[in-house]
Amino acid sequence: MTPAASPSPSAALAQRDDRVLPATRALAVVLVPILLTAFVILYGFPADTGRLFAWTIRPDLTPMVLASAYLGGAWFFIRVVRERRWARLSAGLVSVTLFAALLGVATVIHWDRFNHGHVAFWLWAGLYFTAPFLVLAVWVANQRVAAPPHPDELRIGRVARVVVAAGSGLALVQGLVMFAVPSVVIPVWPWLLTPLTARVVGAVFCLGSAGLVVLRDSRWVRLRLMVEVEVIMLTLMLVGAVRARTDLYTDRPLTWLMLGGFVATLAASLWLWRAMATRAEAG
């Protein structure tokens, strides 16, 4: 038998049309209602987590921070369902994989802290024991049809690229430190944390790692959705800080540093989004 000829380079390149695969969309369809339900519970009823959620979370600010990530994630996966270009989504799926993997590990480490008799716990455990593998699998599959960059695509400037990379790197480092050694962070954190909630909040910060994509690809198409998600999350976190302001330790320097950093990052993200939209309209 004559072995089948391998595809020519031109044929292989033609298959890389940057489409979003059906499996990627299907996973997003499953995740959106889960994320929206968790957001409603945690942001709308933060004081009732013992009755409504997988474990009792105190104080109220912590469930609202987690809820902010869930609504940002819901918006991201809604866009996955509707999006045509894989380039707009790939960076976000990598950070989601890390986030879900960390929460799965945290669940194992702190197994005794969860409400095992509540259906919400088994939904939580099922989600975070499977989601890292499922999200990573669709990312790997979809990368096979990722199209190479076009030279005429809109790119962010050098200064913005450095700022985005630095902020994303800082968020990742902070998140990993909180997850690995929560005892170092708890005494100085702006509000009360336990080892479990420190790891959960650390996983939320690790979502910021999506911005590191600018280190190898400065196209605006790679970053735009990440900026939208960041704006949603930071806005909800700041509103949550106002709602639960009595939870904050106002005598700790990190409280004001973090709140100021959130405001500055939100303002910078909105400026970048507007600046790039203006450039796109002009060009």
Confidence of residue 197 (pLDDT cuts 50, 70, 90): very high
Structure tokens at 115: 């409400």
- What pLDDT sits at residue 7? 52
- Residue written as token pair 């994320």: 35
Confidence of residue 11 (pLDDT cuts 50, 70, 90): very low
- What pLDDT sits at residue 14? 53
CA distance 110 to 120: 16
**Above 80 in pLDDT, residue 236?**
yes
**Above 50 in pLDDT, residue 88?**
yes
Residues 154-169, mean pLDDT to the nearest whole number = 96
Residues 104-113, mean pLDDT to the nearest whole number = 98
Residues 149-173, mean pLDDT to the nearest whole number = 95
What residues contact 81, with CB distance under 8 A and at least 6 apart? 25, 28, 29, 32
What residues contact 18, with CB distance under 8 A and at least 6 apart? 85, 86, 87, 145, 146, 147
**Above 50 in pLDDT, residue 257?**
yes
- Residue written as token pair 């639960």: 244
- What pLDDT sits at residue 16? 84
- What pLDDT sits at residue 282? 84
What digits encode the pLDDT tens for the residues 172-192? Answer: 999 999 999 999 999 999 999
Between vectors from CA 75 to CA 179 and to CA 245, what angle results, nearest 5°? Answer: 55
Considering the chain, what is the average pLDDT of its residues?
94
* Residue 49 contacts residue 63 (beta carbons within 8 Å): yes
Residues 124-147, mean pLDDT to the nearest whole number = 97
**Above 70 in pLDDT, residue 13?**
no
Q: Name which residue leads in pLDDT, 211 or 3.
A: 211
Residues 263-276, mean pLDDT to the nearest whole number = 97
**Above 60 in pLDDT, residue 241?**
yes
* Residue 235 contacts residue 188 (beta carbons within 8 Å): no
Residues 36-65, mean pLDDT to the nearest whole number = 97
- What pLDDT sits at residue 33? 97
